[in-house]
Amino acid sequence: MGERVCGLLGRKLGHSWSVPIHEALGCEGYRLIELEPEDLASFLRRADIGGLNVTIPYKRDVMPLCGEIDPAAADIGSVNTIVRGADGVLRGYNTDIDGFIYMARRAGITLAGKKVVVLGTGGASLTAQAAARRAGAREIAVISRSGPDNYGSLHRHADAEVLVNTTPVGMYPGNGAAPVDLTAFPACRGVLDVVYNPRRTALLLQAEELGTPCCDGLPMLVAQAKRAEEHFTGRAIPDSENERILSQLRREMGNIVLIGMPGCGKSTVGRLLSDLTGREAVDIDQQIALRAGCSIPEIFARGGEAEFRALEREETARAGALTGKILLTGGGAVKTPANYGALRQNGRIYHLLRDLGTLPTDGRPLSQGADLGAMWRQREPLYRRFRDVTMDNNGPAEDTAAAIWRDFCEHSGD
């Protein structure tokens, strides 16, 4: 037999990160396989199928097409991994549960003895429910759009201790949406979201703000892929591979975000970072000017700061949804609270510090003739609220760029 077909089977797969994960695990030729429902059965009859992962909407549809179903997958009621054995039999497994357990453990969230509320009823929900049962959860409530446990009756589950989102709400390109408000669950001590793009959904950003342990779905995706590869190849893969690949993906997909006072050197440091890393630098002020068809001073002259901030918020939302970029913000971006979520969702935020006396003011409408000391006193708490790291930029900009890249490589996986 020739080369075996390995890949991810689904209907719409443009958002998937499975290819780089499986390539990092040594599966060359892994690809995305998009099929319409009427083509599913004929595809699975192919003799050259090696190993397949299965995603929405086919995790249950493939089960009757498999010759054998692993007991754990049968218990869950969902298959996400298929292997054609040497005997030609298609065998179905569920490795999502391995990934889910890994995600929860990595976040320090325990399910034993807890009331677990699962949002959604699809294949990922079945996995979360099975993991909660296996862990010994005290109670499991599944929330759907209809039925007795629905989004209109969430008050019945205000005592939830762990919340799991298995819906696509908040997933790219629907960034910024949240399925629930966490303040409705005052007893919640852990939030798990199977969405992995963006890294921090609106739900997870709120969990961070409330100090609630939480995790996105990328660790689950990586860990289930590692287990699937073990089924594909019949060989064990060290668990350390999960962290290696996770760190690699975090570094490749994360944004480096620069904030700071007007004239503090964001553009210069951003350009140097772009040269150093090969990443595209996205200047949000430039994007605003392009969209408006005029310069920033002309926007201020035409519609004042209010028009500029509205444009800035829209362009920040667009830029923040990107991955693997360097984002350069305007000095006053921190004045709009919504910009925090947009920048933080995929980014590590660096605050550049420079002596006020060295800040240029030409071409900066709010800096010209302004008391920079007063501006700093107003904005410093906002910079503090936004930033992950401070970086002194009073020395050579090359040194600042190098320091940011070192920090990002070390901590982007945190």
The C-alpha atoms of residue 396 and residue 107 are separated, in whole angstroms, by 39
The C-alpha atoms of residue 17 and residue 10 are separated, in whole angstroms, by 13
Nearest to 188 by CA among 258, 261, 242, 114: 114
Nearest to 350 by CA among 316, 367, 327: 327
| 317 Ramachandran zone, left/alpha/beta (phi>0; psi -120 to 50) | alpha
The answer to whether the Cα torsion of 164, 166, 169, 172 is positive or negative is positive
Distances (CA, A) of 73 to 59, 70, 133, 197, 235: 10, 5, 14, 26, 20
Query: Which amino acid makes up residue 119?
Result: L
Residue 315 CA to chain centroid, in angstroms?
19
Strands 389-392 and 347-353 turn out to be parallel
Q: Please, what is the Cα angle at 279 between 176 and 384, to 5 degrees? A: 50
In the Cβ-directed half-sphere of 367, how many Cα atoms lie within 13 Å? 19
Asked if 81 contacts 231 with a C-beta cutoff of 8 angstroms, the reply is: yes
What positions carry a catalytic annotation? 59
Q: Compute how many other C-beta atoms are within 10 angstroms of the C-beta atom of residue 329.
A: 26
Nearest to 196 by CA among 174, 224, 215: 215
Structure-token pair, residue 220? 């689950």
Distances (CA, A) of 341 to 5, 344, 386: 40, 5, 9
Q: Which helix (H) or strand (E) holds 376?
A: helix 372-386
